Structure 1
Amino acid sequence: MESSLIRVLPACLTQPLPRGWDASDAEYVFETMPGVDHINAVILALPTTEPDILLLDADWPDGDVFAVAAQALEARPTMAVVLLSDENAPDRLRRAMLAGAEEYLIRPIEAPALRESLIGIAKHRTLRVVDRDEIEGGEVGQVYGGLVVGVMSGKGGLGKTTLAVNMASVCSMAPNKSAGILGLESGDGAVMLSLQPKLGLLDLAGSMEERREGAGFALDWFRQFCVTHQKTGVYYSQWTGSGTQVPEYGVPEDFMPALLETCRRAHSVTFVDLPLLTPDEATAMFPLLDVILIVSSSSDLLALRSTKTFLDLIPEEIAPRVRVIINRSSPNDMISRDDFAAALDFKIAAVLPDAPQVAAQAINLGSPFVLTQGQSELALTVKQLAQVLFRLPVAAESKEKPRKRFMLF
């Protein structure tokens, strides 16, 4: 039986929502995304969560919620914004209207009233359709395939492999999530995870016709070419292993699309650690990726120039998938974040602090720094970035500790 899907993104809530507000019925299925707990992260979360309704708390004390509501509608015009508040002052109602909010609901509000209000808004929009029989355990999110995330840069030495390994570790350790890494550049990811793969993706390419399944491979066959990091559960595979044999007839043309389609079925998120690409290689790769993380540096003019050149290769229709991340940022950098964004003519998604000791120690220990130094500023920043980008639930323990404030958008 088919039902209309209403995807809701709660953001900046100052009070819990009433129990049962998102109850599904035969006609409408609610999918509630993990809440965004910082106002500066709301816009960043929209491309990956793709909500039909943004449920935003107007009483959030830190920032201009009405301005964020207007920015959110500009970023995703097909979405509706619903504001919640304890106050019904005329000035706030006017600001909500000017921001483009569909509703301004006054608390306390009962679950049936909130639910009916959201359904009333959703009825006038084009909604996704889901087959209720395919929804396992009542979680609509399981109907959809995993994300394939390309991690790349315009030059080497900017820390993209380190970022891929640590973000995959955060995703893999989240409840009901799994993560994989495809190391297409080198074996650096294996070193960071203390793994020694015997087989590689090149071996899979040589035997790909043996275990095809749909547009990809059988999952049990695919996992024979992966090794698992015991502490995080990350599935890791790289282009070649210690016992790799070069395929007699080379790599089939459809190998990469088949590989990435298999990854979507195998994991919640798969990070593809890509080498430096030629313009032709980049043009072929971009459409295969769901999210593209471009790692750069504000301490390196060459990094800025190479990032700009790389961004110029991205087609307009692919640009919404791109997130630019400034790595190893320091107040002493020669280029400010605003100047960096202006030079690229592209918004900066996040800024990661410079912490060479943290990264170096993690490499020496053969384990991601989100494990070895989980409370460091760098680790907390990467954890929050992963939570926002990939819809991860916030661990209960992290709610009691200060979180890194992103410099997002």
Structure 2
Amino acid sequence: MFQSICPLHIELKNPEKLTEKEFIPRSGHRIVVDEKNVYSWGGYNYDPDLWDLDDEDHTYPLLKELWRYQIWTGEWKLLKTHGDIPTQLASHHLVKVKNHLLQFGGTGVPFGSANTNCLYDLDLDTLEWKVLLKPKSPANDNDNDDDDDEDGDEEEDNGVPRPKYGHSLTLVDNCLYVIGGTCGYVYDSNIHKLDLKLLTWEEIPANSKYIPQPRYRHEVIYYKEKLLMFGGGAGVNYSAFNLDKIDVFDLDKQTWEKVMTFPSEQKLGQGDSKKVFPGCRRCHSCVRFKDDVFVSSGLSPDGILEDMWRFHLPSYQWTALEVPLPKPVYFHSAAVTNDGCMFIFGGVTRIDDQRTNALQIMWVQIPPLKLLAFNTVVKSLNLEICKQDYQTLIALGIPRHCLDLIL
């Protein structure tokens, strides 16, 4: 349950009853949500104290772990997956389609050399991983597979993105769009589309003179037949792109353009104000809720950012939110429920050497009345008794839908 449900207020929640060796702080992971759970997959922690953790769930320094956070009880649980489990567990990307998690891309160890362009599928009912699509490419996964042709040579599939990490992955209807990323040495801003029904890749050429600069660890949001790209960076020294102008790809025209946004007004006192834009950043997070995008934290040339911004899609207007993150992070991951509860999980808290396993939770709107009431009810319930007395609670009038959220 939530301690309080107050819009635009961030609650910092450390995991209860779990030590850092049981639930390792991480970065480079991804989370997704539904109305009941937050799922976190993969991640990385370069802590020498973890060197001995080399088993079926850990390939140091990568974490082959699927954690589930039950939103209404606040309980974390490690789920045991099996099958063709991905080994590229850092800076991959993840989307949830019905009751499946789809992973594309990512890097393993050594970083920048052990990359993938496979599409993996995890069935959340069976917890089984499958390789849904493995393009024919000699560079793919750096695996030494035995299923090559007789000559030992395979032609790379046309339209398939190369093995990469730090890209974006955006679900639009029945298609996945991959933009940008890096193989560790070269960055790009290429666009590839995967038809999930046909399982076919297609490279989308840009019919415009303008092409955004190559980058990785950017974020892309879909809105009204357009893909909007926020931030990102390339190279060393924590370089990052500005957010005063947004790179926008029109899916109908297949053209890029750089669009000017509108600044937030910051009050200075005595009736004075100034116009401000978000600072440049990479390794940040963006989530879309209805007509707004919420941008949180990230890394800039000046260090780790603690800010939170709202970007109104119809007007391209920025608003600085007066809700700094209790724990500034980068290389974190964020997601938002259909009811407007935003979760920010994990990330680096001190450049290069310190990570967190905390959740930072914020409602981006006033929740529905039924959820406000349900949160009050949950605080008074003994969950162990509830599991044994399900039918009694139904008879008392608690909606079955609500009980299913906690049991």
Query: TM-score under structure 1 normalisation?
Result: 0.24
Higher strand share goes to which structure?
Answer: 2
Higher RCO (C-alpha under 8 Å, 6+ residues apart):
1
Q: Which has the higher helix share?
A: 1
